């Protein structure tokens, strides 16, 4: 019974369709198609304003903020973990910089260091809890999500007596973290691009990237192959804590004030971006380019809707459907990637 497909496999010319196979095997192919589709849709229905510089800025600004968080979330997901505590690390970091440098009037760099340090510490706690307890990281970070949110609210009210603190950033800090370039483009776009380059390099061109894929593919085999899985996991959580703190910091400086509750939307938005970007939820598969496409797709939908005549409430519906379509499409592409030039599987279908 199994002989017939093998015969067809042997008869197959190995080179045929290999360029298509190579394309299909890339995790970002599906997300690129999705992004082009969504962009075309809003370019048609959004009118001329959507394709102007202003339109570009509106979704790039959103994409950059989500994108900075989505990158480490994507890495965690490739490694088979998840971090939802970013939803409260962002406001915690905003409040930290606002309290240190705004409320107490300490030098700006102290506030920045304190905020980023806080992100690293929360990441370290997440990482240690995950590797020590072996509780799923979703539950661990759900716990720290609430714990950090409670701490932020409690300490903010205790110190400042309110849930919002104004901050007047020093010019250098403002220029680095919270200005609009050309009056439209947030400076975070540049940070996002830099992060894309760095993370893309590490994931796809260094051996550490290979370790991440192995970690997400099979943790025990990865450990047996000599990969320091524990250290790697902790480091990943610290990276996501750091990135979330960075975004919180930028927001506080950009809007000249910090609020206790401004981060929860980032949890789902970043996960959606990463999944649309072709990262496998169970780990072991994904790419930085894909994550970037996914983030842009999400941002185009959430901002593009305002350029159309439609009620903005429909944006969530589109994003929901998009997410489902993206997952299905990614599954299809992944199956194609797996069966590429393996005649046996193709013959069975």
Partner 1 sequence: MTEPLLTMTHVNKSFGPIDVLFDISLKVYPGEVLCLLGDNGAGKSTLIKLLSGVFKPTSGTVEMAGQPVDFASPRDAAASGIATVHQFGGTFALMSIGRSFFVGQEPTRKFGPFTIYDRRTANAVAVKAVREFGITRIDDGDRLIGGLSGGERQSLAIARAVHFGARVLILDEPTAALGVKEAAHVLRIVLEARKRGLAVIFITHQVVHALTVGDHFAVLIRGALAADFRKGEKTREEITDLMAGGEAMAELEAEIEAHSAASPDHAASVAGA
Where on the chain is the footprint of partner 1 (CB under 8 A)? 2-3, 6, 9, 14, 18, 22, 25, 201, 205-207, 209-211, 213-214, 217-218, 221-227, 280, 284-285, 334, 337-342, 344-345
- Whether 249 and 115 have beta carbons less than 8 Å apart is answered as yes
Cβ of residue 289: shortest distance to partner 1, in angstroms? Answer: 16
| DSSP assignment letter at 107 | -
Pairing of strands 164-166, 185-186: unpaired
Give me 273's structure tokens. 């971006």
Closest to partner 1 by CB, 46 vs 277, is 277
Between 14 and 171, name the residue whose CB sits nearer to partner 1.
Answer: 14
- Asked if 266 contacts 244 with a C-beta cutoff of 8 angstroms, the reply is yes
Q: Distance between CA 98 and CA 61 in Å, rounded? A: 22
Phi, psi angles (nearest 5°) of residue 180: -100, 125
Q: Say what the alpha-carbon torsion angle 319, 320, 326, 331 is, to the nearest 10 degrees.
A: 170
Residue number, 3 or 313, with CB nearest to partner 1: 3
CB contact set of 137 (below 8 Å; sequence gap of 6+): 76, 81, 82, 83, 126, 130, 237
Nearest approach, Cβ of residue 221 and partner 1 (Å): 5
Q: Which is nearer to partner 1, 140 or 215 (CB)?
A: 215
Instruction: Work out how close the CB of 343 gets to partner 1 at its nearest, in angstroms, rounded to a whole number.
Output: 9
Nearer Cβ to partner 1, position 103 or 211? 211
Beta bridge partners of 165: 258
């Amino acid at each position: 019974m199994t002989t017939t497909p093998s015969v067809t496999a042997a008869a197959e010319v190995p080179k045929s369709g290999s360029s298509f196979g190579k394309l299909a095997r890339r995790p970002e192919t599906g997300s690129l198609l999705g992004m082009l589709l969504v962009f075309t849709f809003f370019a048609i229905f959004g009118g001329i304003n959507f394709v102007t510089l202003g339109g570009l800025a509106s979704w790039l600004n959103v994409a950059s903020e989500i994108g900075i968080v989505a990158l480490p979330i994507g890495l965690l997901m490739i490694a088979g973990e998840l971090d939802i505590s970013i939803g409260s690390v962002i406001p915690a970091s905003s409040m930290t910089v606002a309290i240190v440098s705004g409320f107490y009037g300490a030098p700006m760099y102290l506030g920045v260091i304190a905020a980023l340090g806080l992100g690293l510490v929360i990441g370290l706690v997440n990482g240690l809890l995950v590797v020590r307890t072996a509780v799923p990281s979703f539950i661990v970070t759900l716990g720290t999500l609430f714990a950090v949110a409670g701490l932020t609210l409690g300490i903010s009210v205790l110190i400042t007596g309110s849930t919002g603190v104004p901050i007047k950033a020093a010019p250098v800090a403002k220029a680095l973290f919270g200005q609009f370039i050309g009056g439209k483009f947030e400076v975070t776009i540049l940070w996002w691009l830099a992060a894309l380059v760095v993370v893309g390099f590490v994931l796809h061109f260094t051996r550490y990237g290979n370790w991440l894929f192995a970690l997400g593919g099979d943790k025990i085999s990865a450990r047996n192959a000599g990969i320091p899985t524990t250290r790697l996991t902790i480091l990943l959580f610290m990276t996501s804590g750091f990135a979330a703190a960075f975004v919180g910091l930028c927001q506080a400086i950009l809007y000249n004030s910090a609020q206790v509750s401004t981060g929860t939307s980032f949890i789902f938005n970043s996960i959606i971006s990463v999944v649309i970007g072709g990262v496998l939820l169970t780990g072991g598969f994904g790419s930085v380019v894909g994550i970037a496409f996914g983030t842009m797709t999400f941002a185009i939908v959430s901002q593009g809707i305002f350029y159309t005549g439609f009620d903005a409430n429909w944006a969530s519906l589109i994003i929901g459907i998009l997410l489902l379509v993206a997952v299905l499409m990614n599954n299809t592409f992944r199956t194609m990637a797996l069966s590429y030039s393996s005649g046996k599987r193709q013959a069975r279908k």
